[in-house]
Amino acid sequence: MINIGLLGLGTVGTGVLKILEKRKEELIKITGDDINIKKILVRDLAKKRDIELEGGIITDNFDEILKDEDITIIVEVTGDLEEGYKYVSESLRAGKHVVTANKALVSKYFEELSDLAHKKKLALLYEASVGGGIPVIKPLKELIPFNDIKEVRGILNGTCNYILTRMEEGLDYAEALKIAQEQGFAEADPTDDVEGLDTRRKLRILGTLALQGQMPEENIIVRGISNITAFDISNINKMGASVKLIGEVKSCEGGYTAIVEPVIVESSSPFYNVGYEENAVFVKGDNVGDLMFYGNGAGMLPTANAVLCDLMDIIAGSYRLNNPLGNKKLMDLSLAIKGSYYLRISKINGELMDVFKSLADKVLSTGAQFALVTKHILRKDLIDLFENLGIEEKDYFIAKFDKINT
Ligand code: NAP
Ligand code: HSE
């Protein structure tokens, strides 16, 4: 019997139990063994669960799981950053393999935990931390020995993509966010989704693996979607385009650029038709060329499926024991990012309008909502201009055009 300790029984944890139950016979045939969830850690023992559980399986005491020598694999799906870190690091120190979907903890403690797992000769797998059900971490690790990865870019947050898709259908922002929360896509605090912080964590994980060097999360430039309005969506759609929250890491001469921001994609873009909670990740390697990974980026069963694929790799012994992180010194050159931007400002006077018009390639609207398309400019100059003119972030929205990429 393979005994597992499951930490967390929310959206993802419940999905793990559901799939294991549904696929029980097939799994016994494949592994020749019974995969047994021996203990489940939760925060609130009294909470009503909509899944049937054996008596005594649930606990709120992590030590019961840590000290159980029959439990050899931990599946961490709590979403708690610091407690999650404690569970994962103590589990590895105690000689247990770990699977986690917790991108906040992977991003924050990536180097330390990778090193610990490597020293202990244990698996630390985190496929579900990026792209929900899409296999992307494992393929990326497989590409690294044979490729210099030049670029990774993607729609990495299901909640934001869901909101943007539903707004294009006419729904209002708050209503779309509410549904994303009800569907279990959003983080416990959806600020992490809509302000781009979740995308930034995923980008940090992908970028660190891809470029084989240090890429601190907090240095990555981030802009979310919380300021977008129906007016912006309408302007962008009128151009025959769509807006997506995209995280992008590019390798360049002497370093890298990394940014999370709203991007306007035309119908010819592979990102254009990625809708609702779907995610897509583009990877460019010098030998493999261009690759695109696409599928459900959030939700109970797709995410649980990714967790279980990691679990199966541990059971089958088909995971790599090397530390997947490199130690290249990388220079952050993100302040050199340039582009053409859509910008909309609410609350603006005629004098300020003239300042922005000097940057314009095309003025879209001069009413109460002032909107234009800028020339090809340094992003930093645009942000500095807003700051210097005292225009608060809540009063404007910018999105980069995908067609001019440098
Ligand atoms: P969730 O629905 O909020 O469930 C969290 C579960 O963990 C709950 O059962 C909760 O206990 C338990 N928990 C939370 N903090 C705990 C603590 N300190 N100690 C013990 N138990 C604790 O979260 P989720 O949506 O399943 O997400 C879990 C993880 O997967 C997160 O890291 C998330 O970012 C990641 N993820 C989620 C998705 C998705 O689509 N939902 C996709 C990819 C990755 P109670 O039930 O008692 O409250
Ligand atoms: N909150 C995350 C999202 C869950 O919406 O993408 C999947 O990582």
Domain ranges of the chain: 2-125, 137-297, 337-401
202 is catalytic: yes
Q: State if residue 100 touches ligand 1 by the CB under 6 angstroms criterion.
A: no
Q: In 3D, which of 75, 21, 123, 59 has the Cα closest to residue 303? A: 75
Q: Which residue of 78, 137, 185 sits with most ligand 2 atoms within 8 Å of its CB, as the best mutation to test the pocket?
A: 185
Q: State if residue 78 touches ligand 1 by the CB under 6 angstroms criterion.
A: yes
Q: Which CATH fold topology does 337-401 show?
A: Alpha-Beta Plaits (3.30.70)
Q: Which CATH fold topology does 2-125 show?
A: Rossmann fold (3.40.50)
Please count the CA atoms within 13 angstroms of the CA of 22 that sit on its side-chain side: 11
Beta bridge partners of 147: none
CATH assignment of 137-297?
Answer: 3.30.360.10
Q: Are 186 and 197 in contact (CB under 8 A)?
A: no
pLDDT for the residue 169: 98
pLDDT for the residue 406: 36
Helices (H), 127-258: 137-143, 158-168, 173-182, 191-194, 197-211, 230-238
Q: Which residue of 107, 187, 191 sits with most ligand 2 atoms within 8 Å of its CB, as the best mutation to test the pocket?
A: 187
pLDDT for the residue 219: 94
At position 12, the amino acid (one-letter code) is: V
Q: Are 288 and 228 in contact (CB under 8 A)?
A: no
Q: State if residue 185 touches ligand 1 by the CB under 6 angstroms criterion.
A: yes
Per-residue pLDDT of the chain (406 residues; tens, 9 = 90+): 999 999 999 999 999 999 999 999 999 999 999 999 999 999 999 999 989 999 899 999 999 999 999 999 999 999 999 999 999 999 999 999 999 999 999 999 999 999 999 999 999 999 999 999 999 999 999 999 999 999 999 999 999 999 999 999 999 999 999 999 999 999 999 999 999 999 999 999 999 999 999 999 999 999 999 999 999 999 999 999 999 999 999 999 989 999 999 999 999 999 999 999 999 999 999 999 999 999 999 999 999 999 999 999 999 999 988 999 999 999 999 999 999 999 999 988 889 999 999 999 999 999 889 999 999 999 999 999 999 999 999 999 999 999 743 3
pLDDT for the residue 295: 98
pLDDT for the residue 5: 98
